[in-house]
Amino acid sequence: MMRQYELVERVTSYDPDADEVLLNRAYVYAMKAHGHQKRASGDPYFSHPLEVAAILTELKLDDATVVAALLHDVVEDTESTHQEIEELFGPEISQLVDGLTKIKRLDLVTKEAAQAENLRKLLLAVSRDVRVLLVKLADRLHNMRTIEYVKQEKRARIAEETLDIYAPLAGRMGMQTVREELENISFQVLNPDAFETISSRLERLREESGNILADIEVELTKQLGEQGIESEVTGREKRPYSIWRKMERKHLSLGQLSDIFGFRVIVPTIDDCYHALGISHQVWHAVPGRFKDYISTPKQNDYRSLHTTVIGPHRMRVELQIRTWAMHDIAERGIAAHGLYKDAPNAKMAEAGSVVPATETNAYRWLRRLLDLLAEGDSPKEFLEHTKLELFHDQVFCFTPKGDLIALPSGANAIDFAYAVHTDIGNSCVGCRVNGRHAPLMTELQNGDEVEIIRSKAQNPPAAWEGLAITGKARAAIRRATRLAVRNQYAGLGKEILERALSRHGAQFSKKKFTQALPRLGVSATDDALAAIGRGEMASSDVLKALGIESEIKTTKKAPKPGRRGKAGAKKRSIAVRGVSEDLPISISSDTGAVPGERIVGILTPGKGITIYPIFARALQEYEDEPDRWVDLTWDEREENERYPARIKILVHNEVGALAQVAQAIGENDGNIENLQMVTRAADFYDLDLSIEVLDVRHLNRIMDALSAQSLVNSVTRSNA
């Protein structure tokens, strides 16, 4: 276990002005607070926060963050309180510890909804101070390093969560070393056989390569040195999980991978980066299509480097990553390298403009966009879906006609591009030009594409766009616009219902009076109240009372029960159902009919009312993506001998008397034929489509049984069009 003075020396090695007294006090306090507590491994519990603090010193974080790491479990697991932490260590450290305590249970998440809610809590804490995320990532890293001591049934769950959330988050923050280690340990837990196979193959490759890697390092350094470029060249090997993911993504075997071994070439200046690139391409053959310039167009996590692949010494394919010391520091430590403590990085890593405040980095702006999704009202589950979409995509870089750079996930299309520029542009988008040519909106964009969005003020984004969009921002905006459009339709229908109700009492609709009555209805917005009337959630009679207009109830007729409709349908029949406002027009689908005793649902069409369908109707499939239009209905008490329509199909023999048998069977069983149509007629059979009136589903079944018993009837089925 690391000694007290060792921790202090680690911090002061990169931050000479660190508060040594504060670090010593936190070390002693945490050690005493955890006392004799033990971890599952049997080690003293204090070893865990100490190791988390050690990880943060490797990332060269400030003394306050290291202290927060030492204290991150004391409020959760000991008798310490936030008030005590604030009194002893100040408000800054107290807030960091408080943010970490609130998300402590993220480690124990099992269900997706709970995971989503806890991710939301994590990012809200991060919005106040990004260092909360860095401590949390270090905490998860040490827990993964000791996962073999966790109970077997929990390991897979923790590893899966790490691979889904924490490793991608570390990557988006630019912390590649943390991300790779989290991925590798998770991979070993979740797929031990594949991990062992790849690790064994890598070991054999190392043995077969012998001194080749060392030879390449020497040769690269020599070639650059001869051209006056001072460089540090180091070989690296891909991690098993990175290899596995590439094999899965590109459907390759291990032997087909060309970049298992790569080299980092670190030079003093940006000019040296491009000079070194030119030298490498002159000395060795470049592999076409394998060059990427992340210096001119950095990744979303602020990563900057030149990537190229050449046929190097020994005819081996070699991937080169050429960068400056400052770029290398950001590539390794990510957001932790961006001015999170009071002094800049050491002189060797400094370059003009390299020290950027954390709040101005691309990685931090990405976090802010996620928080904007939260603020715009998406449910935690939707937020988790959007976050995962953005975490797992690589990038393409496109341009507006004015030359502005727009970074998008790979696979993104013009719809995503429009919403990335601005939500209003996405909502009004009707078409696009890609590189000057008209193209479909779902065209997948490529690096360097120039995209021009064609707009119309009359446009509203179709709901189907949500399935076409790739980015979380676009999907969330489309969903909100769709909900708003539906709400406006309901509000229009609600206004019509209210105007009819007012006219029956000799009054007219006044928006001013209606707005004044809203407090009595418990609603704050006019459109919300009108939409509630349109959806049947608020009765117009309640609105009339709120407006001071008393409803006239005729004593000569029995008042309808709540949820029942009066006259509706082609014959103005009374439809006895519950679950819908009495002011809403209601009818039964003429395609299928619907009878008491079978389960029914309603589909609301703004401006027309509700149409009733039996649950088996195929027509309902058209509304599966519009859940807001579905109304749950049940049959109510009916008047005696009240009849309802049902459509049936009958296949009969083409013989004399067949139609008479059908009519006789229906009549003898007290049915009434409302409509009859001959659909098809052949030499032997013909199809009849009948709409009959029955009392309920039992009455209908009795008629269908009687029809089936007729000698000239081949089959009888219920229409489910």
Catalytic, 360? Answer no
| Pairing label, strands 600-605, 609-614 | antiparallel
Phi-psi region of 671 (alpha: psi -120 to 50; beta: other; left: phi over 0): beta
Q: Dihedral sign, CA of 673, 677, 679, 685?
A: positive
**Catalytic residue of the set 19, 43, 77, 674:** 77
**Distance from C-alpha of 305 to C-alpha of 296, rounded to nearest angstrom:** 9
Q: At 420, which amino acid appears?
A: A
Residue 350 token pair: 């400094």
**Distance from C-alpha of 7 to C-alpha of 208, rounded to nearest angstrom:** 41
Q: At 604, which amino acid appears?
A: L
Which residue, 604, 636, 716, 616, is CA-closest to 669?
Answer: 716
CA 507 to chain centre: 49
**Distance from C-alpha of 694 to C-alpha of 294, rounded to nearest angstrom:** 73
Which residue, 286, 282, 310, 308, is CA-closest to 295?
Answer: 308
**Distance from C-alpha of 644 to C-alpha of 671, rounded to nearest angstrom:** 11
Catalytic, 76? Answer yes
- List of residues 6+ apart from 353 with CB closer than 8 A: none
**Distance from C-alpha of 27 to C-alpha of 651, rounded to nearest angstrom:** 87
Half-sphere exposure of 278 (CA within 13 A, CB side): 8
Q: How many CB atoms lie within 10 A of CB 79?
A: 9
**Catalytic residue of the set 9, 76, 343, 537:** 76
**Distance from C-alpha of 629 to C-alpha of 609, rounded to nearest angstrom:** 11
Q: What are phi and psi of 209, to 5 degrees?
A: -70, -30
Helix, coil or strand: residue 122:
helix
- CA dist 329 → 60, 215, 463 (Å): 10, 26, 44
Q: Are 257 and 246 in contact (CB under 8 A)?
A: yes
- Classify residue 445 by its DSSP letter: P
DSSP 60-117: T--HHHHHHHHHTTHHHHSS--HHHHHHHH-HHHHHHHHHHHHTGGGGG--SHHHHHH
Kindly report the CA angle at 106 between 104 and 107, in degrees rounded to 5? 90
Helix, coil or strand: residue 717:
strand
Which residue, 105, 90, 115, 180, is CA-closest to 136?
Answer: 105
**Distance from C-alpha of 551 to C-alpha of 549, rounded to nearest angstrom:** 6
- List of residues 6+ apart from 183 with CB closer than 8 A: 163, 167, 239, 241, 242
- The secondary element (H helix, E strand) that includes residue 232 is strand 232-237
| Residues carrying an active site annotation | 76-77
